[in-house]
Structure 1
Amino acid sequence: MERFDRLYALYDEFDTETLRAYQDFVDLFPPVDSRVALEYWESASDELVERKDDVRAAFPEGETFAGLAARATREQAFAALDLQAKYGCAVNVLVLDVDETLRSAGHTDNEIPRETLHLLTEFHEADVPIVICTGQTLENVKGFLIQGLGNELVHSGSVSVVYEAGTGVFTPGHGPDTKQLLYEDLDQDVRGVFDDLRARILSDAPEGIRQGCHLQGNEFNVTLKPNFETGSDRARDLIDDALRYELDLLADCVGGATREHVRAFYAAADPEIAGVLADAGDLPDAVADEATGGDSADALAFIPEGVRGVLERVDVAYYEADAAEVASRELNKVVGVQAAFDVLGVDDPFALVMGDSKSDLRVMEWVADEDAGIAAAPEHASGRVLDHVRETDDLVFDEGAADEVLRTAWALNRLAEQ
């Protein structure tokens, strides 16, 4: 019997839904000082063992199939089987965004669900390193990781934090490599642009943007966020205005640049930015011509080489009704993840990358280009992120339900062991 047929038989002939319910109860039962509760947990644990034993006895890969039945739904198990057939290897490192990926303000009270946290401990116990990759500050990330995963796991030597979208990397337990400040390698030309930009971003802003937005990021990441509900019409209009303002301010901060140079450069690189500029009648003619059949190189030929060299090192990102961002291309999540892999000793990565934003997309594209992993995203992710994920392995999960893909990856690793 082929593995596909055996897997089909597993989910057709056994009550795997109840088995998973017992496994989740045993795994997630909170520590309580109650004899009755403890007896109930022990009873459930015994029932779980019996049900797994029944599966073990029915299949030649009994241990693997018992584990699959206890952790993965039918859909997750068959998705894992497809991934195993396609790639022929297991996930050997996790690269995980936090906000709106592991946790969601809309569906998880902005906390990482217990199911997700427990699965991360399962990967840790299976010697799979974890790289948390976020725009947050290091102290914020350390706080909720220790609270959710425990101090021992976070400081085990197999967990790394890429913080502030690549400004630094923190990998406890690695001596002089524990904390890497990647911005120290950034030269003064780019530093000067960000110093000027950040100093002026609010003071020079039109009143509507100054009152309607707040500033996030760090010295090499300047992000305007709306004071209105993310996703609302008011937030959309405000962020569109903020994007155009940031582009024009960037032109003032780059020596020799004009607003036409900057608008053309970033519109040619990002169709969403081009769309925002076009809606306001600000799309440069050269880019408009390129979009209707012109040559993309010709569209940017009027930009002086020195200006283009600086702009190539500065990234502008637009998140509809959510944020307008200017950041250093040399301090990004890809660079941070590569540095984390070096410290963790991940020499031949096959990563599961989970994220929702364009900064996460760059990591996804990097692992795809290097044949070094797979990508997953929540259903509310940026459109370009969803396009990439759906065009590769279609690992899209419900909002606040990162455990869905983690279970698929866990099943993949079990199948790859055979």
Structure 2
Amino acid sequence: MDRYDLLYDLYDSFDTDSLRDHQRFVDVFPPVDSRVALEEYQEIDAELESRKGEIRESFAYGETLCEVAAHATREEAFTALDLLTKHGRGVNALVLDVDETLRSAGGTDNEIPRETLHYLTELHENGLPLVICTGQTLENVKGFAIQGLGSELVHSSTVSIVYEAGTGVFTPGHGTDTKKLLYERLDERMQEVFYGVRSRVLPEAPDEIREGCHLQGNEFNVTLKPNAETGSPKAAAIIDHALCYLIDLLGTVIAEGTDSEHGSEWARAFYAAADPEIRGVLEHRDRLPERDPEEVPTALSDVFERIDVAYYEADAAEVGSLELNKVVGVEAAFEVLGIEDPFALVMGDSKSDLRVMEWVADGRGIAAAPEHASRAVLDHVIRTDELVFDRGEAAAILRIVYALNRLATLG
């Protein structure tokens, strides 16, 4: 009997919905002091083991199949098997964006759901290293990672944090390789540009930006965040203004190191041509210059082409290095973790995550995204393995990976 026939037989012959309900209760049952609640837990746990026992006795691969059925829905299990058939191997690492991927302000009250945390822990215990890959600062990521996953797991030497979208990598338990400051690899000219922008971004900002924004505590990237609630109309207005200002300042700083003039106007022309979202903001604020982006002076364009200006509507305006992105960070994390032949699950929602997804698409893994991800990310995910999940439901993809790796053990 092939693996597809086994799954058909499994899901047709047993009440797998009840089995999963029992497993979910046991997995995410919160710690309580109530004797009555503890007795209920023990009863459900006993019933779970009884149901699993029936499956174990019914199949030659009963142990594997009962765990698949206890964790994955019928659709998730067949999706896992399709992935195994297509790629021929299981996942051996997890690369995970956090905001609007593992957690969502609109779907999970900006907390990582208990079930998602459980599956991350379980997959890690089954031997999968975790690479948390985010634009946030290291201290922020360490804080919620330890709070959600526990200090022991985070410091297990098989968890790595790629922070500030690839400017640094933190992998506890690896001696001198524990913290890699990837931005130190950039040449002196590029570092001077970033230090110049950082030192001037708030002191030279208009009053509206100084009062309406704050500078995120990055080690290298320059990120302006709204003081208003993220996603609100007030935040949207101030970030649009901050984006225009940040582009102008970047152009000014770069031009000061050359013989070029009108650096801010050339910067606006260049980045408007490179990103339609940025162009839309500049047009809306009547800041789009009448300059041909094809005529940007070489002394400026050579630097512009190495710098990324990122716009996140009502959330952030950021300047970063294109030579330091999440792909570079993930590669560095894999090197420290000793992952020489990766086949990773990459989960994310933004353009910075898309770069990693495209990198693993070359035989290094699979990609998944929430339904509200950027259009480019969704297009890529749908075009590859169609792993799109509902807002706040990252656990569904983790269940598929759990089933995929279990099914990969079948002969």
State TM-score, norm by structure 1: 0.89
On the 8 A contact 2:167/2:221 being kept in 1, the answer is no
CA distance in 2 between counterparts of 1:324 and 1:391 reads 29
The residue number in structure 1 matching 2:296 is: 303
CA distance in 2 between counterparts of 1:231 and 1:109 reads 14
CA distance in 2 between counterparts of 1:137 and 1:78 reads 38
The residue number in structure 2 matching 1:294 is: none
On the 8 A contact 1:317/1:358 being kept in 2, the answer is no
The residue number in structure 2 matching 1:295 is: none
Q: How far did 1:408 drift?
A: 1.1
Tell me whether 1:220 sits opposite 2:220 in the alignment: yes
What CA deviation, in whole Å up to 9, does each residue of 1:76-101 have, x standing for no partner?
Answer: 11221221122111111001112222
Q: How far did 1:251 drift?
A: 0.8
Q: Secondary structure at the match of 1:409?
A: helix
Q: Secondary structure at the match of 2:318?
A: strand
Q: How far did 1:137 drift?
A: 2.8
Tell me whether 1:71 sits opposite 2:76 in the alignment: no
- The farther-off stretch of 52-61 and 273-282 is 273-282
Q: How far did 1:242 drift?
A: 2.3
Matched ranges for 1:288-327 at <5 A: 300=294, 302-327=295-320
Change (3 A) 1:316 1:172: same
Q: How far did 1:356 drift?
A: 2.1
The residue number in structure 1 matching 2:278 is: 273
CA distance in 1 between counterparts of 2:135 and 2:59 reads 46
CA distance in 2 between counterparts of 1:148 and 1:402 reads 15
Q: How far did 1:71 drift?
A: 0.6
Q: Secondary structure at the match of 2:25?
A: helix
Tell me whether 1:385 sits opposite 2:377 in the alignment: yes
Kindly, what percent of the aligned residue pairs are identical? Answer: 67
Q: Secondary structure at the match of 2:110?
A: coil
The residue number in structure 1 matching 2:194 is: 194
CA distance in 1 between counterparts of 2:231 and 2:145 reads 28
What CA deviation, in whole Å up to 9, does each residue of 1:218-248 have, x standing for no partner?
Answer: 2421222233343344433433332222212
Q: How far did 1:22 drift?
A: 0.8
CA distance in 2 between counterparts of 1:396 and 1:143 reads 28
The residue number in structure 2 matching 1:37 is: 37
* Structure 2 counterpart of 1:404, from 396, 401, 409: 396
Q: Secondary structure at the match of 2:314?
A: coil
The runs of 4+ residues in structure 1 deviating greater than 6 Å are none
The residue number in structure 2 matching 1:158 is: 158
Matched ranges for 1:6-405 at <5 A: 6-255=6-255, 256=260, 258-280=263-285, 282-283=287-288, 300=294, 302-368=295-361, 370-405=362-397
- The farther-off stretch of 355-364 and 90-99 is 355-364
The residue number in structure 2 matching 1:290 is: none
CA distance in 1 between counterparts of 2:136 and 2:184 reads 19
On the 8 A contact 1:378/1:397 being kept in 2, the answer is yes
On the 8 A contact 1:20/1:71 being kept in 2, the answer is yes
Change (3 A) 1:335 1:217: farther
CA RMSD of aligned residues (A): 2.3
Q: How far did 1:324 drift?
A: 1.6
What CA deviation, in whole Å up to 9, does each residue of 1:357-395 have, x standing for no partner?
Answer: 222222222222x32111112223233322322222222
Equivalent pairs counted in the alignment come to 405
CA distance in 2 between counterparts of 1:225 and 1:172 reads 29
Give the unaligned 5+ runs of structure 1: 288-298
2:408 partner amino acid: A
CA distance in 1 between counterparts of 2:86 and 2:241 reads 44
Change (3 A) 1:223 1:58: same
Q: How far did 1:284 drift?
A: 5.7
Change (3 A) 1:321 1:386: farther
On the 8 A contact 2:101/2:394 being kept in 1, the answer is yes
Q: Secondary structure at the match of 2:144?
A: helix
Give the unaligned 5+ runs of structure 2: none
What CA deviation, in whole Å up to 9, does each residue of 1:150-199 have, x standing for no partner?
Answer: 22222222111112322321212222212222222222211221122122
On the 8 A contact 1:315/1:329 being kept in 2, the answer is yes
Change (3 A) 1:219 1:33: closer
Q: Secondary structure at the match of 2:216?
A: strand
2:70 partner amino acid: A
2:306 partner amino acid: R
Change (3 A) 1:241 1:147: closer
Q: How far did 1:147 drift?
A: 2.7
State TM-score, norm by structure 2: 0.90
